[in-house]
Structure 1
């Protein structure tokens, strides 16, 4: 089991990233929450990881914080929630926001997430309420470990990259376009995605 990686960030193309560890490039999929927290390419990063072994592939997921990985692992144990939907949930809200939604029975907020209908939201509330680990007591990843606060240079077409990333999270192309409409296009892809998700969750 690969539990953590520390190395040089080679590529960051939401929702994918590549980390060089001793000359080996590890490809990982991550939530927008983690991607926004990472520094630019060429910088050192440290990520908590989860390895999913399937018959046709070994898939590695990266997380800036241990709490986020804990929630991911709890989510994929819920009936009907796979890794892709779990990452979409983590991209749309952080751990504390998710806990509040579950504890407050906020079905409406959960259904704003891509791929989460009313029945799935109700299932999340019912099954997750008793599965919360002690995330509040977990040690946060330091800025030095995760590179929180740093940003990567904007790509050639951040708007197109942001739209593609939203589609990969489960939003329809037309919906992704609406979410990004009117946003400032001079920032990074990650910043645009974060702003679009915040707008979507605000209703």
Structure 2
């Protein structure tokens, strides 16, 4: 699985970016917010990624921030929400605004995103109501710095092991605090797993 891409922004389109990593161009689907955040063509950039695999395609979706990727995973877990609709929702709302809308069960707000009708908006707010707190956005994770580098990869590894986003982020933050900034991915994940088990 590809967790992130670090390279030069080679090109952008309406819903994608091409990142040149060592001479290989990766086409990555992206929300309009991510495309606006990664900077001008020719600049260095990093995208956190999610790899979508089906019988007839393999596709990368990229995010400027980890919380956007976490929201993408939550949204695509709702029946009827595919990658395109999830990206439309993330183009329409900042993660913190989306979190508030779901926490307050504001179906009308969610329905403002392209491709989201009233029934789908209702399903999204209903199914994600109990999961929104797991992202920690409402309660004040905005004040916590987002992990980067090995920390971001460690959070991704924890999510792939089935931990909720808030649990993963907290465990990795504790591990980073104990091990210091130069910790390897392997060491971070091992310690984060121990921290999460307490």
TM-score by length of 1: 0.67
- In 1: Cα distance, 2:145 partner to 2:121 partner: 29
- Deviation for aligned residue 1:14: 1.9
CA RMSD, aligned part only? 1.5
- In 1: Cα distance, 2:33 partner to 2:136 partner: 16
Equivalent residue, structure 2, for 1:53: 53
- 2:97 is equivalent to residue 97 of structure 1: yes
- In 2: Cα distance, 1:64 partner to 1:94 partner: 12
Equivalent residue, structure 2, for 1:188: none
Equivalent residue, structure 1, for 2:62: 62
Equivalent residue, structure 2, for 1:5: 5
Secondary structure at 1:61 match in 2: strand
- Deviation for aligned residue 1:134: 2.8
**Structure 2 spans left out of the alignment, 5+ residues:** 149-198
**Structure 1 spans left out of the alignment, 5+ residues:** 143-203
1:52-91 CA-to-partner distances (Å, cap 9, x unmatched) read 0111111000000000000000110001110000000000
1:171-190 CA-to-partner distances (Å, cap 9, x unmatched) read xxxxxxxxxxxxxxxxxxxx
Alignment of 1:108-127 (within 5 A): 108-127=108-127
Higher RCO, 1 vs 2 (CA within 8 Å, ≥6 residues apart) = 1
Equivalent residue, structure 2, for 1:140: 146
Contact 1:70 1:135 in 2 (8 A): no
Equivalent residue, structure 2, for 1:37: 37
**Which 4+ runs in 1 deviate beyond 6 A?**
none
Instruction: Tell me how many residue pairs correspond in the alignment.
Output: 142
- Deviation for aligned residue 1:139: 3.5
Contact 2:105 2:129 in 1 (8 A): no
- In 1: Cα distance, 2:101 partner to 2:4 partner: 29
Contact 2:38 2:46 in 1 (8 A): no
Q: Structure 1 pair 141/12, CA: closer, same or farther in 2 (3 Å)?
A: farther
- In 2: Cα distance, 1:43 partner to 1:25 partner: 14
- In 1: Cα distance, 2:113 partner to 2:106 partner: 12
- Deviation for aligned residue 1:135: 4.2
Equivalent residue, structure 2, for 1:72: 72
- In 1: Cα distance, 2:5 partner to 2:34 partner: 14
